[in-house]
Amino acid sequence: MSARVALLLALPLLLAAPHAYARSVEEKPAGPTVAERTAHNQRLRALVGKPAVEPISVQHLHTHEWTVIDPAKGATLPQDTLDELLRCHQTNQRTRIDARLVTAIVAAALEFNKRRVLVVSGFRAPKFNLALRKKGREVARDSQHTHGTAVDFKLPGVAPKRLLAYVRRLRLGGVGFYPESGFVHCDTGPIRSWTGR
Ligand SMILES: [Zn+2]
């Protein structure tokens, strides 16, 4: 198709455009309808006197990096933020983190009315996981941490045992209890539970 033919074909559209625009401006309603205003006022009235839901900060214990989640907007984080925050703190490698882990830790914070979550460990690069095993740490060979499907966390001010009981009730997957270290392991693998140090 030559440029001239293309222009001729487009001409009716180009000519019609200003007219269509003018018409749409004229037909735009003057404002919200009575029903819309009433609904809006009712929503505002319902909010009066209710405290806003405080945001929850999620901090990684090793990198000291943190982010904020507004539970009113859902217990989620943008995938990229999540992958960065829960990256392997030893190698800085990233993987795709299972977003259900965020839902679980936010649910736990809300359950205990806490606004701060401390992440002890998120993703572990396989070589870091292996290094921990060689050091004799309680680390599974094919740990869920190496798949981005596990998080170790604590809620300051909440006894680990209470946190453990809550995470178990979620029935999300594996739950590990580390009473001495004071954190709970939560993963999205098969449902099972164990106690470490
Ligand atoms: Zn763990």
What is the tens place of the pLDDT at every residue in 6-42?
A: 544 554 444 444 444 444 445 555 788 889 988 988 8
Q: How far is the CA of 184 from the centre of ligand 1 (A)?
A: 7
Q: How far is the CA of 137 from the centre of ligand 1 (A)?
A: 11
Q: Do 66 and 143 belong together in one domain?
A: yes
- In the numeric block, which tokens belong to residue 75? 């217990």
Residue ranges, the chain, pLDDT below 50: 1, 5, 7-8, 11-25
Q: What is the rounded CA–CA span in Å between residue 182 and residue 144?
A: 19
Q: What is the rounded CA–CA span in Å between residue 197 and residue 72?
A: 36
Is 40 exposed, middle or buried, given 0-12, 13-18 or 19+ CB atoms closer than 10 A? exposed
Residue in 101, 70, 73 with CA at minimum distance from that of residue 85:
101
Q: How far is the CA of 66 from the centre of ligand 1 (A)?
A: 19
- In the numeric block, which tokens belong to residue 196? 């470490």
Q: Do 168 and 99 belong together in one domain?
A: yes
pLDDT of residue 49: 76
Give the single-character DSSP code of 64.
-
pTM to 2 decimal places: 0.74
For the CA atoms of 152, 155, 157, 158, the dihedral, rounded to the nearest 10 degrees, stands at -80
Phi, psi of 175 (to 5 degrees): -135, 125
Q: How far is the CA of 71 from the centre of ligand 1 (A)?
A: 24
pLDDT of residue 23: 47
Q: Do 163 and 76 belong together in one domain?
A: yes
Angle of the 160-170 helix axis to the 100-111 helix axis, nearest 10: 130
Q: Do 39 and 61 belong together in one domain?
A: no
Q: What is the rounded CA–CA span in Å between residue 139 and residue 126?
A: 11
Q: What is the rounded CA–CA span in Å between residue 47 and residue 123?
A: 39
Determine the structural domain holding residue 174 and report its residue range. Answer: 56-195
What is each CA distance from 197 to 106, 153, 185, 192, in whole angstroms? 25, 14, 12, 17
Beta strands in 53-92 (DSSP E): 56-60, 66-69
Q: How far is the CA of 92 from the centre of ligand 1 (A)?
A: 17
- The domain total for the chain is 2
Question: For the chain, first and last CA: distance in Å?
Answer: 75
pLDDT of residue 32: 85
Q: Do 33 and 113 belong together in one domain?
A: no
Q: Do 30 and 68 belong together in one domain?
A: no
pLDDT of residue 119: 98
Q: Do 14 and 90 belong together in one domain?
A: no
Q: Do 70 and 10 belong together in one domain?
A: no
> Which one of 12, 29, 47 terminates a domain?
47
